[in-house]
Amino acid sequence: MADSAGPGRSPLEPIFSPQSVAVVGTTRVPGTVPFDIFHNILKDDFQGTIYPVSPSARSIAGVKAYKYILDIPDPVDLAVIVFPSSVVKLAMEQCGQKGVKGVIIISAGFREVGPAGLQREQEIKDIARKYGISFIGPNCLGVINTAPNVHLNASFARRMPTEGSIGFLSQSGALCTAVLDYAHAKNIGFSKFVSFGNKADISDIDLMLSLKDDPATKVILMYLEEMTHGAAFVDAARKVIHEAGKPVLVLKSGRTSQGASAAASHTGSLAASDEIVDAALRQAGVIRCQTIEEMFNNAIALAYQPLPRGRRVAIITNAGGPGVLTTDAAIHEHLELAAFSDRTHDIFKRSLPVTANIRNPVDVIGDARADRYRVAMGSALEDENVDGALVILTPQSMTDIDTIAAEVCNVAAAYEKPTYCSFMGETDVASGIAILQRRNIPHYILPESMCRAFARAHDFRTEKDRQLTPAAQFADVDTAAARGLLDAAIAAGRTYLTPSDAMRVLEAYRLPVLGSAVARSAEQAARVAAEIGFPVAMKVESDDVVHKFDVGAVMLGVDTPTAVAAAYATILANVNTHQPDARVHGVFVQRMAGAGDEVILGVKRDPAFGAVVMFGLGGLFVEIFRDVAFRIAPIPLEHIRGMMHEVKAFPILTGARGRPHRDTDAVEECLQRLSQLVVDCPQIQELDINPLIVRSRGDGCAVTDARILVAAP
């Protein structure tokens, strides 16, 4: 973003809260974007002054028009440019001359249409930099601010949303129109609503950070088709969540490779692998949603109700079947059915009919009217074993739907615990739902969505309150040594480090590399083995021999000096037989790791997210099930533990089915050291420790093989 803002003044202020707006390139033709934008600002009661700029018209919708923005006699805070892409450059130049500090470029025809468009986009960026202009777009729907003292609908959306506490940021303009329509029907209001298009200047990250400090915004929703600055995004989201305590919900499309390629042809962007995006968002504490509906289902829970302090829900229903469905959904989302206190039981017994089910889910029976709902809900929320109420209603013949809705709102307002509702059906329950929506009780058509929203709200509370310790910084590492080895390999034109150099890099970060050395004679091999301890593994040191096992160039469990010397000779002889022209540098001798389970640690450097660390259990678990977890380095200890537990096969290391409990503390430390290594050494492009042998508790683990791919950073 052009850092043109004066001290203490956000560059977004002229865009979100202008006192005067010029619409540059508007026309008199209703039903076209250039007219609709001007007309939307006018009809939706903008509280400042609006100036149409049109090359030909004397007035637009009765408002005096100007030929050039420079002709406007008053200062202009914000210009909305709606000219065709070829003219935008000129308009931008004149905005600069006029002293405009904020611009929204609606026009399409830039980066998204190919090289010529990219060139045009660069030109307007240059002009913006020259004049200190901040701009949104190009190729966007526009910006909406519902604050009553601004009330700006600088967009070609069909409708202006009502005021609310949700901020919505979207990479897709078309999706915005669908979202506004959806939200209108559900009576959901917004604080700010931004379609940011190609984000040539102001980015999604800038916008998110500005909503962090926006008192009107309590919850931030984002629709993204790419994450080109993943690491910066993650940093920003962490700040929003931990400093401002505001939840960030992201719908990221392009999950599948076909979807990503459709997104690429649509936005001209390249996608990071979805599993990395997923890991990064989780690490940031972002709530990732798969559909627009899920995003709003979660958002209304977060925006309207207190966050639940725990997972124990009371389900209150007037019908058994839906109670069962809700129980299933709650358990599926790892919620718990609250066990009521004796006191609550007594109240239920006294106040509900004998046929009512007074255990959770509480069935107040089909003929329940508002009084029964009041008693059940109130006593449940009063109970200290209950963290929230899920209230279900089916429209039966005696159900006084609207009265129950109003009573639910009254009871909910009296407690600092959340209440969510599902009034099942549609037409008959519509008026009841409207009552709930007006009074900010989240309503869900499906019990599943209700339970998921409760779980996400609880997750967010946990995330927000979590004290993340920074990633460990071990002082006993030798960064210079590691960098030296990596730089030397790069200087020598290698892409992969030699196996022994790879081990030395790990050793410099005190990863538990097994004692090893390259011997250049049988005698040296025997001596080395005696030093590092028996038994040893031996393999030829040669880049040319790729399938070392197949040619007899590997010997395992060699356990005396004599045997080592003999093995040395055998290995060289075998290589000579199978690959006489291979260049051989000696034989690599390494202590055997001993009994343990194998795990794999890996690193890849992602263009968007930086160093991504992978953890998985060795062998088939990774190969067949792809049972692995990712995090972005540097990784705090909590997330090291999180990634280990995320792997489904992890219980194999922790004593499942009578197996030995392995030294998982040692694995944690390895992952922490690895995270530090790849942050310190940007030369590392890829790194695999495969396998790391994990011995039993207290016995540590051992790196037996490693591979490091390097490139000049």
Touching a second copy, residues 6-45 (CB under 8 A): 31-33, 36
Contact 20, 77 (CB under 8 A): yes
Which residues inside 356-375 make contact with a second copy, applying CB under 8 A? 357, 359, 361, 363, 366
Helix, strand, or coil here: 634?
coil
429, 545, 564, 600: residue in contact with a second copy (rule CB under 8 A): 429
Q: Could you say whether residue 55 binds a second copy (CB under 8 A)?
A: no
Which residue number, 33 or 100, has a Cβ lying nearer to a second copy? 33
- Residue (296 or 588) nearer to a second copy, CB: 296
Scan for tokens 């997210």, then name that residue: 609
Number of residues that bind a second copy (CB under 8 A): 86
Site membership for a second copy, residue 310 (CB under 8 A)? no
Candidate segments 64-72, 427-435, 484-492, 561-569, binder of a second copy by CB under 8 A:
427-435
Q: Cβ of residue 656: shortest distance to a second copy, in angstroms? A: 6
Residue 324 contacts a second copy per CB under 8 A: yes
Neighbour-count burial of 345, counting CB atoms closer than 10 A to its CB (0-12 exposed, 13-18 middle, 19+ buried): middle
- According to CB under 8 A, which residues from 630 to 649 bind a second copy? 648-649
Interaction between residue 61 and a second copy (CB under 8 A): no
C-alpha distances out from residue 640 to 416, 570, 615, Å = 34, 43, 9
Residues 62-81 that bind a second copy (CB under 8 A): none
Among 263, 436, 497, 674, binds a second copy (CB under 8 A): 263
Q: Return the residue matching tokens 């420790």.
A: 689
State which residue, 316 or 502, has the beta carbon closest to a second copy. Answer: 316
Q: Are strands 597-606 and 610-617 parallel, antiparallel or unpaired?
A: antiparallel
595 binds a second copy (CB under 8 A): no
Per-residue binding string, a second copy, 393-422, x by CB under 8 A, is: -xxxxx------------------------
Q: How far apart are CA 11 and CA 3, in angstroms?
A: 8
Which range of residues in 265-273, 306-314, 405-413, 543-551 is near a second copy by CB under 8 A?
265-273
* Nearest residue to 310 via CA among 328, 286, 336, 329: 336
Residue 652 in contact with a second copy, rule: CB under 8 A: yes
Query: What count of Cα atoms within 13 Å lies in the side-chain half-sphere of residue 560?
Result: 3
CB of 495 to a second copy, least distance (A): 24
In sequence order, what are the residues at sequence separation of 6 or more whose Cβ sits closer than 8 angstroms to the Cβ of residue 113?
none
Can residue 445 be called a binding residue for a second copy (CB under 8 A)?
yes
265 binds a second copy, rule: CB under 8 A: yes
Degrees to nearest 5, angle at CA 484 with 481 and 485: 90
Q: How far is CA 24 from CA 65, 67, 397, 401, 706, in A?
A: 10, 9, 59, 51, 60
Told to check if 320 binds a second copy by CB under 8 A, we report yes
Distance between CA atoms of residues 284 and 466, nearest Å: 12
Q: Is 550 an interacting residue with respect to a second copy (CB under 8 A)?
A: no
267 touches a second copy (CB under 8 A): yes
Closest to a second copy by CB, 43 vs 332, is 332
Which of 337, 389, 453, 710 binds a second copy (CB under 8 A)? It is 337
Residue with smaller CB distance to a second copy, 394 or 516: 394
Min dist CB 253 to a second copy, Å, is 4
Q: Which stretch binds a second copy (CB under 8 A): 52-60, 442-450, 473-481, 528-536?
A: 442-450
**Under rule CB under 8 A, residue 194 binds a second copy:** no
| 3-state DSSP percent of the chain in helix, strand and coil, to 5 | 40, 20, 40
For residue 113, how many other CB atoms are within 10 A of its CB?
15
C-beta of 153 vs 675, nearer to a second copy: 153
Interacting residue with a second copy among 91, 152, 175, 644 (CB under 8 A): 175
The helix (run of H) or strand (run of E) holding residue 67 is: none
CB of 399 to a second copy, least distance (A): 9
Closest C-alpha among 631, 605, 595 to residue 704: 595
Quote the CA–CA distance of 188 and 433 in Å, as a whole number: 13
- Using the rule CB under 8 A, give the single segment among 325-333, 459-467, 485-493, 512-520 that binds a second copy: 325-333
CB of 320 to a second copy, least distance (A): 4
**Beta bridge pairs of residue 195:** 142, 170
Question: Following DSSP, what letter does each residue of 392-414 receive, concatenated?
Answer: EE---TT--HHHHHHHHHHHHHT
**Which contiguous run of DSSP H or E holds residue 193?**
strand 190-195
Q: Which one, 507 or 598, has the nearer CB to a second copy?
A: 598
327 binds a second copy (CB under 8 A): yes
Spatial distance between the Cα atoms of 83 and 441, rounded to a whole number of angstroms: 44
Given 235, 428, 646, 688, the residue binding a second copy (CB under 8 A)? 428
Among 125, 186, 238, 483, contact with a second copy (rule: CB under 8 A): 186
Binding mask 605-634 for a second copy (x = CB under 8 A): ---------------x--xxx---------
Report the residue from 480, 488, 656, 712 that binds a second copy according to the rule CB under 8 A: 656
Residue for token pair 């002082």: 475
Cβ(181)–Cβ(159) below 8 Å: yes
The rounded distance, in Å, linking the Cα atoms of 272 and 260 is: 9
Examine residue 318 and tell whether it contacts a second copy (CB under 8 A). Answer: yes
**Joined tokens for residue 707:** 């591979």
Rg (CA), the chain: 32
What gap in Å lies between CA 230 and CA 572, rounded to an integer? 49
Alpha helices by DSSP H, listed for 244-318, are 257-267, 274-284, 292-304
Q: Where do the H-state alpha helices sit in 442-491?
A: 447-465, 479-491
Could you give the CA distance from residue 616 to residue 413 in angstroms, rounded to a whole number?
47
Interface with a second copy by CB under 8 A: which range of 329-337, 376-384, 434-442, 547-555?
329-337
Shortest distance in whole angstroms from residue 435 CB to a second copy: 17
**How many residues in total does the chain contain?**
713
What is the smallest separation between the CB atom of 158 and a second copy, expressed in angstroms? 6
- Of 185 and 492, the one with the shorter C-beta distance to a second copy is 185
Residue closest to 221 by CA, chosen among 289, 274, 152: 289
Q: State both tokens at 699.
A: 């016995």
Shortest reach from residue 392's CB to a second copy, in Å: 9
Q: Smallest distance from the beta carbon of 291 to a second copy, in angstroms?
A: 5
Q: Which residues pair with 684 in a beta bridge?
A: 710
Residue 337 CB, shortest distance to a second copy, in Å, is: 6
**Alpha carbon distance 652, 655 (integer Å):** 6
What's the min distance (Å) between Cβ of 328 and a second copy?
A: 4
Q: Confirm or reject binding of residue 467 to a second copy (CB under 8 A).
A: no
Nearest to 219 by CA among 131, 96, 301: 301
Choose one: 63-71, 256-264, 662-670, 686-694; the region binding a second copy (CB under 8 A): 256-264
Q: Please list, in sequence order, all residues whose beta carbon lies within 8 angstroms of the beta carbon of residue 506, skipping any fewer than 6 positions away.
A: 513, 677, 689, 703, 706
156 vs 568 by CB, closer to a second copy:
156
Residue of 125, 266, 309, 697 that binds a second copy (CB under 8 A):
266
List 9, 64, 332, 585, residue binding a second copy (CB under 8 A)? 332
Copy the structure tokens of residue 270: 């390249």
Round to whole Å and give the CA distance between 220 and 169.
8
Q: Which of 121, 201, 204, 225 binds a second copy (CB under 8 A)?
A: 225
Q: Which of residues 526-545 bind a second copy (CB under 8 A)?
A: none
* Residue span 131-170 as binding mask against a second copy, x where in contact by CB under 8 A, dash where not: -------------------------x-xx----------x
